[in-house]
Amino acid sequence: MNGIHDMGGMHGFGAVDRRPDEALFPEAWQGRVCALAGYAIGAGLANLDAFRHAVERMPADRYLADGYYGRWLYALETLAAERLGGDAAVERPDHVGSVVREVDREARFAVGDAVRTWNRHPQGHTRLPGYAR
């Protein structure tokens, strides 16, 4: 899915200003949203793929204005509305599953291997960032 969420490598947004003494949650609501997201995923009410997909569907103006935990809040609101069948309901992603995956084969690639990607524009969630296409 192409969208504002795929900002890796973009120019013009300035440096990330992170101070060593900066609070993890400058505002109390941010910590609450983080806890709610952790609970929702841990309790199986949503999974990480669905959560990310909800963030990816944010309108660009909201994405830029709402900040990190504002995006998380938007995702929680969207997933809750969809689960309840509210006005925000949209189609679910084609595939959602656990973030933990058991594998019974060796990895196909190792650190440092050359890989080839292609420039496709999926409608749903993708883990391939725009700068790697």
Domains and CATH numbers, the chain: 25-95 (1.10.472.20)
Whole-number pLDDT of residue 8: 64
Report the chain's mean pLDDT, rounded to a whole number: 81
Whole-number pLDDT of residue 101: 74
> CB-based burial of residue 70 (10 Å sphere; 0-12 exposed, 13-18 middle, 19+ buried)?
middle
> CB-based burial of residue 41 (10 Å sphere; 0-12 exposed, 13-18 middle, 19+ buried)?
middle
pTM for the complete prediction? Answer: 0.62
What average pLDDT does range 16-28 have in this prediction? 87
Whole-number pLDDT of residue 28: 95
Q: How far is 66 from 71, CA to CA, in rounded Å?
A: 6
Q: For the chain, how far is it from start to end, CA to CA, in angstroms?
A: 13
Q: How far is 32 from 25, CA to CA, in rounded Å?
A: 9
Whole-number pLDDT of residue 9: 64
Break the chain down into helix, strand, coil percent, rounded to 5. Answer: 40, 0, 60
What average pLDDT does range 32-55 have in this prediction? 89
What digits encode the pLDDT tens for the residues 64-109? Answer: 889 889 999 999 999 998 888 765 544 555 655 666 778 899 988 8
